[in-house]
Structure 1
């Protein structure tokens, strides 16, 4: 599987997921618009371990939704959720969506 990107959220395929299951399917909250990257259709579980989110897509596909981006159909599998960062003279910062 190849990495998948929606705006500032990047999903990287991983072999295995460990961590604490979270009670929601929101991968990232928008800091500027208030919109969120979230799973809107399909069966999935979100986990957190050491400050890193992991997504397990259990159904054949799950839909990643955000109001400002095209919906993406994620295939079944395990994913590490990363937020894109950019460099400024003051240091690294997360990209705000």
Structure 2
């Protein structure tokens, strides 16, 4: 007898991952965050192959940074219907209108924690 059940992968609304970059939707970007200017918007640069996690659209997309003690945090604001987050080794991800915290995956080494690089 054939099993007609299918496994459904749960969708995590407001959360997006592309390689070592994770975007988590937030209500607002902190007022203390300073806007970073430059185009295209680069969320992270990979050290291994020199590839970038980036958004090519120029209008309605802004990066901001804030520091809390020794911790630097990054924020993405999408003020248009959607933008594409691209990387040559990962699939393109469509990011909808909203505010996001940009989080780099970290790993523990005996020398201490460090960011994971593609």
Question: Quick check: which has more Rg, 1 or 2?
Answer: 2
Q: Taking structure 2 as the reference length, what is the TM-score of the superposition?
A: 0.76
Unaligned stretches of 5+ residues in structure 1:
none
Q: Distance in 2 between matches of 1:87 and 1:5?
A: 20
CA RMSD of aligned residues (A): 1.3
Aligned match for 2:48, one of 32, 37, 44: 32
Q: Taking structure 1 as the reference length, what is the TM-score of the superposition?
A: 0.91
Q: Distance in 2 between matches of 1:45 and 1:55?
A: 6
Tell me the residue number matched to 2:35: 21
Decide whether the 8 Å contact of 1:58 with 1:77 is kept in 2: yes
Decide whether the 8 Å contact of 1:43 with 1:62 is kept in 2: no
> Larger strand proportion, structure 1 or 2?
1
SS at match of 2:102: strand
Q: How does 1:9-88 map to 2 (within 5 A)?
A: 9-17=21-29, 18=31, 19-24=33-38, 25-41=41-57, 43-50=60-67, 51-88=72-109
Query: Which moves more between the two structures, 10-19 or 37-46?
Result: 37-46
4+ runs deviating over 4 angstroms: none
| 1:43-77 C-alpha deviation (Å, 9 max, x unpaired) | 31111111211000011001101111111000100
